A = this chain, B = another copy of it.
Amino acid sequence: MGRLTGRDPSLLRRINSTVVLRALRAADGTPTLSDLVQATELSRPTVEGVVEQLVAAGLAAEATGGPGDVRRQGRPARRYRFRAEAGHSLGVEIGPHRVAAVLADLSGRRLGTAEREVSASAPAEERLERTRSTVAELLRLCGVSHGTLRAVGVGSPGIVEADGTVRLCTALPGWTGLPLGERLRHSFRCPVLVENDANAAVLAEHWKGAAVGSDDVVFVLAGLSPGAGSLIGGRLHRGFGGAAGEIGALHLLGREAAPEHLLSTTGEPLHPLDEAAVAEVFALARGGDERARQAVDRFLRRLVHDVAALVLALDPELVVVGGWAAGLDGVLAPLRRELERYCLRPPLVELSRLGADAIATGALRLALDRVEEELFTVEDADAR
């Protein structure tokens, strides 16, 4: 880390504060002032002053009950710890069938989750109210006050603008045009970051799922109509207008049948959000029903085609298949087989490790990133 002899004392104070807070968080156990002086290479008076400020701000506390450490005078040196409980981040999934939320402290440790069902036909206001009440319930269960929320991440279907407005969403009634970020900022009184659900999910799989260690990833949220979220070089690829990965529209071209027709065994299309009807078709197919088997085959062929289009366009290292289709038998084998046959350099194909948790977990990651940027990053202080 470069030492600065800047002319702006408030910037310098802020950098020093960040450096000490980072050292405090990274420390094994509870460091003394001497430990922090050593870790930060700052002067002892500077570290002392910063620690005082951090204690006053509630971000640090004197640790009690640590291992004894005797100074020359015989008095034990004070030890300090990062107060991860000083603030909280929230990840929220708002989907067609449910609202889910996960709460974490400043260190990213999960404190609890809550989930509530909501009707696919529920109007926007009802879905927003369900979101608020689910969050309120979670905070109450965890004994955390509303006022300590520092950032909320939200994953939701549709194309989402940078300011959190939903530009287009066909899956949720009343969602298109909704200023979702603004509405929730009003409720939560802290920064709210809204992201497309598949985009949130790819962040989650990269953080603690099937894509740990891979920076070039396509996550396919495979339902009747698949969407995708992509990391390129470890960063989310949203596209010029936030619509990257909306591959589900591909079947609309060339007069090809929509997935809800492909999966039908009756000639009548399934409802695009009717997961029970879909599960039944898959169960029939497993039971040997020939018509259902053909329907599943058609559906998988379509999915393979859409994933292949994503893979050919982006050339990722890894494809992660999530969404409800990931839970079905026999999704992985045809995907791997066809991609190996036709892609010039086939990617690895894995199932989601986070399953139904992926979207809320990715939304939590977004919120944590925001908080960490605020608390632990000063651009000029970072050695890059």
Contact = CB atoms under 8 A, between A and B. Distances in A.
Contacts of A341: 252
Contacts of A238: 315
Contacts of A250: 305, 308-309, 312, 342
B343 A239 contact: no
Interface stretch (A41-49, A64-72, A241-249, A322-330): A241-249
A167 B343 CA distance: 13
A244 B237 CA distance: 14
Interface string A298-324: 000100110011101111110000000
A253 interface: yes
A313 B312 CA distance: 9
A345 interface: yes
Interface of A: 159, 167-168, 216, 228, 230, 232, 237-247, 249-250, 252-254, 301, 304-305, 308-310, 312-317, 338, 341-345, 347
A312 B241 CA distance: 11
A242 to B, nearest CB: 7
A141 B97 CA distance: 71
A246 B216 contact: no
Looking at A239, A241, A252, A342, which has the most chain B CB atoms within 10 Å of its CB? Answer: A239
A87 to B, nearest CB: 32
A347 B312 CA distance: 19
B254 A240 contact: no
In the assembly, how many copies of this chain are there?
A: 2
A345 B249 contact: no
3 closest residue pairs by CB, A with B: A239-B315, A313-B313, A309-B309
Contact of A309 (B167, B247, B315): B247
Given A232-B237, A237-B232, A240-B216, A312 B245 contact: yes
B241 A345 contact: yes
A312 B240 contact: no
6 contacts: A167-B345, A243-B345, A245-B312, A245-B313, A253-B308, A309-B312
Nearest to A228: B313
A305 to B, nearest CB: 5
A7 to B, nearest CB: 13
Given A301-B254, A342-B253, A344-B168, A243 B315 contact: yes
Contacts of A237: 232, 314
B315 A241 contact: yes
Given A246-B312, A315-B240, A304 B253 contact: yes
A342 B317 CA distance: 28
Contacts of A245: 312-313, 315
A240 B317 contact: yes
A315 B160 CA distance: 13
B314 A344 contact: no
A310 B313 CA distance: 5
Given A305-B253, A308-B253, A315 B242 contact: yes
Contacts of A232: 232, 237
Contacts of A249: 308, 312, 342-344
A246 B344 contact: yes
A301 B253 CA distance: 9
Contacts of A313: 228, 230, 244-245, 247, 309-310, 313-314
A272 to B, nearest CB: 16
A316 B243 CA distance: 9
Contacts of A230: 313
A314 B246 CA distance: 9
